[in-house]
Structure 1
Amino acid sequence: MMPKTDDLVLFAQVIELGSFSKAADANGLTNSVVSKRIARLEKELGSTLIHRTTRRLTLSEAGQVLYQHARLVAQAAQEAFDAVTGYSQSLQGHIRMSVPTISGELLLAEAVAEFCELHPAISVDMSLDNRFVDLIGEGYDLVIRTGHLDDSNLIARHILDSNWTICAAPAYISRRGKPRVPEDLLQHSCLIYSYQESGARDWLFNRHGEIYPLRVSGNFSTDNAAALRKAALAGHGLAYMPRCLVYPDLQAGRLVELLPRQVGKILGIYAVYPYSRQPPRKIKLLIEHIRSRYMDIKHYF
């Protein structure tokens, strides 16, 4: 038997909202009706879709596959309804998003809260997480990602590029001297940022238009950018990190930028969402709002 389209839509809502009760409230149903309809869907497909615990819902492997398609069915149904009723001119609903910790603390927490104030009928659940989340498998509508995009099931909108910098406190430079060429770093104490997509000790440099790595050494490493910045401010070594994180420190002279024309690490910042012919209008507007806030402080990057 072919599953009913409205059951697929309800299944997608249960996952997106995170509970049977929230999906029930959104549709004016009782919890038992929602539970029965999901159970009917599982019976028709012959697979368990959702593992239920007292605290959370977890998708089975079959559930993850179905959710990828069910959310597109739900979106297509909403677009069809919008086209007839003109409902697309109003904005409401829920957005689940994940952003990197640095960007979240630097500007996105304020930017997204401002977006919610501008659009009271939209709710946003924003997670700050440095890992590359599984956007589809974990049910995110939007992810701000720094780095590279490989998944063909996703669409990426480039926002801007993030330049990295090498910096140190004036006290450290007074004590150890200022490096003039990248190879001078081999004689310095380098603070290691262990959260990177490539070798944390392989710092990238630009020589005649070619990017090359230089392996540095140091006995302090951390996966937290804020901790790295504090260690640099305290004069314990040279730090290699996103420039936006230390821009105010560089302007105030608390840190000094080193080898600025030779550092070769630049990463794109992207707004990423699942592939579909037409993303929801609320997602497009949120992306534009976020992009405008990045542009406001693009000099940080």
Structure 2
Amino acid sequence: MLLKNLALFLLIVEKGGLSAAGRELGLSPASVSERLAQLENFYGASLLNRTTRAIHLTDEGRLLVDGARRLLAQADELHSSIRLGTHTVRGPIRLSAPEDLGRQYIEPILAQFMQEHPEVSIDLNLSDGYVDPISQGIDFAVRFGELADSTLHARLIGENRRVVCASPLYLARHGTPQHPEDLSEHECLVMRFGINISREWTFKKQGQTQRITVRGRRVANDGALVRQWCLAGHGICLKSVWDVRADLEAGRLVEVFQDYDLGGTALNIVYPPTRVQPRRVRMLIERIADVLSTDRMA
């Protein structure tokens, strides 16, 4: 019963409330509250602070989140080894990836992995925003950028550069900008990250740095949509080279400002500091790392 209550506790944290966790499991709010109380009595500590609108983990609750994930992972590994043999790969995997990278690169890897392991199920969260693997119960995330959360572990896959590009149609209609300052005369396609709109683009050349504030009527928090707008000739975009590599090679998009450095970001696989990951998760991490490391572009 302890393991079931621990799993319920993690679901409460993931869903952000007792009622939402109960609906997921088909339990009444009273049953969820009773089982949470059992868990708090077992540990002799309050795990959650509850208000009418939200729940917040206590210090003991935060400690239990990490420990519960480890314990449940170990129990799952033991169960699979005993009942199904050490070579069987089965069970759910939850992961997150950026929109474009997820569709173009991660999904084909997942399709092949699931074909090889028919007892594995996948829950893929595509998001260009920040996803917290711990609070959202995600096994791992493929992510661009520096590792802001020091409590997570990271596996570096490779480096990634940014490019400014536009479609041949747009450039034929509006001309090709020769200098970053020329962007003030162009329609730019802008990404939103949470509440922040990325209107400032940074250009470096021969030790000099220019920060250009761009304008544009189209803003989105979906990198795939920004790429789609760019392909349709609606403007100029700043993208990860991973996202537009095939378009550049096929001539659907044209890179501008090739003699400028627009900066780069690391491509990482990040995951909670769980000591024991299920074998299926370890295998998929290895598969993604191998494929993306082979395909990476400097």
**TM-score, length-normalised on structure 1?**
0.76
Matched with 2:4 is 10
Per the alignment, residue 110 of structure 1 pairs with 108
**Is 2:153–2:272's contact at 8 Å kept on the other side of the alignment?**
yes
1:66-215 residue pairs with structure 2 within 5 A?
A: 66-76=64-74, 88-195=86-193, 200-209=198-207, 212-215=210-213
Q: Say which is worse superposed, 88-97 or 135-144, in terms of deviation.
A: 88-97
Quote the offset at 1:36 in angstroms.
6.8
Amino acid at match of 1:158: L
Contact preservation (8 Å) 1:10, 1:23: no
Greater shift, 83-92 or 150-159, is seen at 83-92
Aligned residues: 281
Which amino acid counterpart does residue 195 of structure 1 have in structure 2? F
Residue identity over aligned pairs, in percent, reads 31
Using a 3 Å threshold, how does the CA distance of structure 1 residues 22 and 210 change in structure 2: closer, same or farther? same
The amino acid of 2:147's aligned partner reads L
Aligned twin of 1:61 = 57
**Which whole-Å CA distance do the structure 2 matches of 1:168 and 1:244 have between them?**
15
Q: 1:199 to 1:23 in 2, by over 3 A?
A: closer
**SS in structure 1 at match of 2:163:** strand
Name the CA distance, whole Å, in 2 between partners of 1:219 and 1:21: 41
Point out the more displaced range, 70-79 or 118-127: 70-79
> Conserved in 1, the CA contact under 8 Å of 2:129 and 2:194?
no
Question: Residue type of the partner of 2:4?
Answer: L
Q: Is the 8 A contact 1:93 1:122 kept in 2?
A: yes
List gaps (5 residues or longer) in structure 1: 1-5, 25-31, 52-57
Please tell me whether the aligned partners of residues 144 and 269 of structure 1 are also in contact (alpha carbons under 8 angstroms): yes
Of 215-224 and 130-139, the range deviating more from structure 2: 215-224
Answer with 115-124 or 12-21: which moved more. 12-21
Are the aligned partners of 1:206 and 1:264 in contact in 2 as well (CA < 8 Å)? yes
- Tell me the CA shift for residue 232 of structure 1: 2.3
Alignment CA distance shift 1:95-1:133 (3 Å): same
Residue ranges of structure 2 left out of the alignment (5+ in a row):
16-20
Matched position secondary structure for 2:193: coil
- Tell whether the 8 Å contact from 2:201 to 2:212 is kept in structure 1 after alignment: yes
Q: Residues of 2 paired with 1:268 and 1:176: CA distance? A: 33
Distance 1:197-1:106 versus aligned 2 partners, 3 A rule: farther
